[in-house]
Amino acid sequence: MKPAPFDYARPDTVDEALDLLAEHGDGARILAGGQSLVAMLNMRLASPTVLVDISRLAPLRTIALDGGVLEVGAAVTQHELLTWPGLAAAQPLLALALPWVGHHQTRQRGTVCGSLAHADPSAELPLVLRHLDGSVVLRSRRGRRVLAAADFQTGMMTTALAADEMVVACRFPAAPAGGRVAFREVGQRHGDFAIVALAATARDGKVRLGVGGVAAVPATLDLPPLAGDALDDALNDFAWGLGAGDDIHATARYRRELVRRLGRRMVEEVARAHP
């Protein structure tokens, strides 16, 4: 349970970090909060040759609400975003989901962007970003690009990030006024990885249901106003389409059942506010 040897670098600017990534490519890993990466280093699931510590880079420590977009820098911790005074008004789904991310103690260092880059299938923040059609801002020495959440997270713990690129920020669209949101999670204990995590929002009479912890990447279902058997059928098709598998924590059947039952409850909850 000790990391293999690596060089450590704490650049003073984002450009210096990008230089290191360009120089070392796959051998370099960005270290921000380290709440997933250091655990992986300890278990030797990751063995980078150089760690690039961006946690103290001031330009990456900003939270900004501008033009209907909430932009969160790569060194902003989950705790900092959760306690940001404007959060519940700007994006209530984030405010509901963040308390489910790890534990109070891991949120003190764990970053929002780091969770997105780690891309765990059961993680809450990738689910919220996908649900809201958010995006990530990537930089390398070659330039800058913005990827939609659906294009960024490509598989289980896999993203479209190139070896010389780093996430510098993520962007959550601000919530429309008067929207209703819901977030639920089922795990063995609070703070554990989600067996199933669900998000629901209502907009323009339509409801979106997002699910994490079942498929390799978060999935969403857009529903017209439905009730009764038609809603059950839509949720059942969605649940089966996620390709759930059995693991030590839960069976595929249990996961489908959670999607159907909690999904229905949450769809009805957010839809009621939008008759």
Partner 1 sequence: MRTLEAGRRHLLRFTLNGRPVEGWAEPRLLLSDFLRQELGATDGHVGCEHGVCGACTLRIDGRAVRACLMLAVQAEGCAVETVAGLGAADGGLDDLQAAFRRHHALQCGYCTPGILMSLTQLLVDEPDADGARIRDVLSGHLCRCTGYQGILRAAEEVFAARRRAGGEAKEGES
Q: Which residues bind partner 1 (CB under 8 A)?
A: 1-12, 16, 31, 34-35, 38-39, 41-43, 49, 51, 53, 55, 79, 99, 103-106, 108-109, 189-191
Task: Name residues whose C-beta falls within 8 Å of residue 219's C-beta, 6 or more positions apart in sequence.
Answer: 130, 210, 211, 238, 241, 242
**In angstroms, what is the minimal distance from the CB of 50 to partner 1?**
8
Question: Token pair for residue 13?
Answer: 């600017």
**In angstroms, what is the minimal distance from the CB of 224 to partner 1?**
37
Measured CA to CA in angstroms, residue 199 lies from 130, 190, 263 at distances of: 10, 17, 9
**In angstroms, what is the minimal distance from the CB of 108 to partner 1?**
4
Closest CA to 117 of 141, 139, 88: 139
Which is closer to partner 1, CB of 191 or CB of 241? 191
**In angstroms, what is the minimal distance from the CB of 45 to partner 1?**
10
**In angstroms, what is the minimal distance from the CB of 124 to partner 1?**
15
**In angstroms, what is the minimal distance from the CB of 245 to partner 1?**
23
Which is closer to partner 1, CB of 53 or CB of 232? 53
Which is closer to partner 1, CB of 190 or CB of 228? 190
Which is closer to partner 1, CB of 1 or CB of 177? 1
Question: Token pair for residue 41?
Answer: 């280093």
| Alpha carbon of residue 204 to chain centroid | 25
Which is closer to partner 1, CB of 42 or CB of 251? 42
Question: Token pair for residue 50?
Answer: 């150089």
- What is the rounded end-to-end Cα distance, in angstroms, of the chain? 55
Q: Is 108 helix (H, G, I), strand (E, B) or coil?
A: coil
Which is closer to partner 1, CB of 55 or CB of 91? 55
Beta-carbon-side half-sphere exposure of residue 141 (alpha carbons within 13 Å):
13
Question: Token pair for residue 104?
Answer: 């109070």
Question: Token pair for residue 217?
Answer: 């990447």
φ, ψ dihedrals at 124, nearest 5°: -75, -45
Measured CA to CA in angstroms, residue 9 lies from 162, 208, 242 at distances of: 20, 43, 41
Which is closer to partner 1, CB of 50 or CB of 150? 50
**In angstroms, what is the minimal distance from the CB of 38 to partner 1?**
4
